[in-house]
């Protein structure tokens, strides 16, 4: 659930996979009821319908056949140019119940061509089912027997539908949106990697707002905000603060600065459910996470560094090697999940975190410049 870029355009979630699943289920129920005792032949119109047909057929419990056709344009030998031809239709359909499965009906031009061809095949009955339908643009005098979801005249992509060739593999349906304007970065790094220092430098350099979860908690508790009091009630009992409380705090923090050029999130998200909540929240604002930038430092090096710091810092958790190792393994488990989460969106950037402060700022800046 996050804004995505396909070719030159940006898209936001419009119909979730759960809603699609529900619509497919209803179509299956209706068609099963109407085809009782018959063995219908379902004909999917390629390319877009492959996903809908697969999900539909999987749920259809009675005998049926499945086939696909494609309406292809080819260059005719005469001067009139393009001629439409139906490819893949070689079944004998005489006396059969034929149900055309379409992913989307827009103007109905495609369907009209196909309908004409099938009408001549002495079928018992010919019906049309479409998952998506744009009633405002449909101008044809054709019966559409089953409609999954009617939508306004807006371009959509995902669940089999493409934008100039790509996007068919997306599980949700997306619609066009404007280009995000913020630079929002999730900064990650193991304890002792110098994340706080780098966040401070980068915030100045790029004019961003730095939100550290630790700082956010401390301020809310000190100011006795509703969320601060709630968070403290968990902490006092030795329990972890639930994700929902942390997320609400973060939203409030972001909403305080509506004209920000972007944010550096430090210490958030920590779990996949937090990452999903952040994506949904930003998407509602027409914004998105530009990238997760992670400082990669070998554990052994950090242990030395932290033990060294422990000699003077007085922090007991900096003096015990076993405790430090626990912190690392906890960090590794957590980042692994988030790394995968952002990698799946092509938004993970790992940076070598070994070097001087200046070196590392330089490396981080190279990534920040591109986000
Ligand atoms: P028609 O206008 O009903 O003939 O639709 C023609 C074809 O355009 C459909 O089969 C789809 O492949 C494609 N199409 C129509 N609307 C959309 C859309 O919103 N997104 C992606 N493809 C679409
Ligand atoms: Mg189609």
Average pLDDT of the residues in 336-346:
92
pLDDT tens-digit map of 114-154: 888 888 889 999 999 999 999 999 989 999 999 999 999 99
pLDDT above 90 coverage of the chain, percent: 72
Segment 320-337, tens digit of pLDDT: 888 888 878 888 888 889
Task: Tell me the mean pLDDT in the region 189-198.
Answer: 86
Average pLDDT over residues 244-273: 94
Ligand 1 pocket mutation pick from 129, 131, 161, 170 by most atoms within 8 angstroms of CB: 161
77 pLDDT above the threshold of 60: no
Over residues 353-357, mean pLDDT? 91
Please choose, from the candidates 259, 327, 261, the residue with its C-alpha nearest in 3D space to the C-alpha of residue 299.
327
| Spacing, Cα 34 to ligand 1 middle (Å) | 27
pLDDT at 116: 86
- Residue-level pLDDT at 79: 46
Q: Using the atom order of ligand 1, give the atom closest to the CA of residue 163.
A: 21
Q: How many Å apart are CA 283 and CA 180, to the nearest integer?
A: 9
pLDDT in tens, 286-315: 999 999 999 998 888 888 888 887 888 777
Quote the pLDDT of residue 75.
Answer: 55
Cβ 161 under 6 angstroms from ligand 1: yes
**Averaged pLDDT, 162-183:** 96
Say whether 159 sits in a helix, a strand or coil: coil
- pLDDT, mean over the chain: 91
Residue 12 main-chain phi, psi, to 5 deg:
-120, 160
Ligand 2 centre and the CA of 38: distance in Å? 26
104 CB under 6 A from ligand 1?
yes
Q: Are 102 and 128 in contact (CB under 8 A)?
A: yes
On the question of pLDDT at 83 being above 70, the answer is: no
Shortest-distance atom of ligand 1 to CA 137? 2
Span 196-217, mean pLDDT?
Answer: 94
Which residue intervals of the chain are DSSP H helices? 17-34, 50-59, 109-119, 195-206, 213-222, 226-236, 243-255, 272-284, 299-313, 321-343, 357-370
Q: In the prediction, which pLDDT does 192 show?
A: 78
Asked if residue 80 has pLDDT above 70, the reply is: no
Residue 74 has pLDDT above 70, yes or no: no
Q: What does the pLDDT average to over 185-206?
A: 91
Please list all protein residues whose beta carbon sits less than 5 angstroms from ligand 2, which is an ion: 48
Provide the edge-to-edge strand list for the sheet that holds 9-15.
4-6, 9-15, 173-177, 156-157
| Distance between Cα 111 and ligand 2 center (Å) | 8
The pLDDT of residue 78 is above 70: no
The answer on pLDDT for 103 being more than 70 is yes
Nearest to 220 by CA among 211, 232, 210, 228: 228
pTM of the model: 0.82
Instruction: Based on DSSP, count helices (H) and strands (E) in the chain, helices before strands.
Output: 11, 15
Mean of the pLDDT values across residues 157-177?
97
pLDDT for 11: 96
| CA dist., res. 114 & res. 94, Å (int) | 16
**Residue 110: nearest ligand to its CA?**
1
């Amino acid at each position: 659930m996050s804004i995505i870029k396909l070719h030159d355009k940006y898209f936001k979630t419009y119909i979730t996979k759960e809603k699609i699943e529900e619509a497919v289920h209803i179509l299956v129920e209706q068609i099963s009821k109407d085809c009782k005792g018959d063995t219908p032949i379902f004909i999917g119109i390629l390319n877009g319908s492959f996903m809908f047909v697969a999900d539909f057929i999987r749920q259809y419990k009675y005998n049926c056949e499945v086939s696909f056709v494609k309406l292809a344009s080819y260059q005719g030998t005469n001067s009139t140019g393009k001629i439409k031809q139906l490819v893949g239709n070689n079944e004998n359909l005489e006396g059969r119940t034929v149900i055309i499965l379409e992913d989307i009906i827009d103007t109905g031009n495609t369907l009209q061509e196909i309908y004409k061809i099938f009408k001549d095949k002495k079928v018992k009955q010919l019906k049309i089912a479409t998952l998506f339908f744009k009633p405002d643009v449909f101008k044809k005098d054709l019966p559409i027997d089953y409609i999954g979801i009617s939508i306004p005249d807006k371009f959509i992509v995902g669940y089999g539908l493409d934008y100039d060739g790509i996007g068919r593999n997306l599980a949700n349906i997306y619609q066009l949106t404007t280009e995000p304007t913020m630079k929002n970065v999730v900064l990650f790094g193991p304890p002792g990697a110098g994340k706080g220092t780098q966040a401070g430098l980068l915030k100045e350099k790029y004019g961003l707002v730095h939100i550290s979860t630790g700082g956010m908690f401390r301020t809310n508790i000190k100011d006795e905000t509703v969320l601060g009091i709630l968070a403290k009630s968990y902490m006092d009992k030795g329990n972890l603060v639930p994700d929902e409380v942390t997320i609400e705090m973060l939203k409030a923090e972001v909403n305080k600065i509506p004209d920000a050029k972007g944010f550096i999130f430090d210490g958030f998200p920590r779990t996949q459910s937090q990452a999903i909540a952040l994506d949904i929240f930003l998407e509602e604002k027409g914004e998105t996470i530009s990238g997760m930038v992670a400082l990669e430092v070998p554990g052994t090096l950090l242990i030395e560094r932290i033990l060294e710091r422990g000699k003077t810092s007085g922090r007991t958790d900096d003096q015990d090697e076993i405790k430090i190792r626990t912190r690392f393994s906890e960090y590794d488990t957590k980042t692994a999940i988030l790394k995968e989460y952002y990698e799946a969106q092509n938004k993970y950037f790992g940076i070598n975190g070994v070097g001087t402060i200046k070196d590392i700022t330089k490396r981080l800046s190279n990534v920040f410049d591109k986000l």
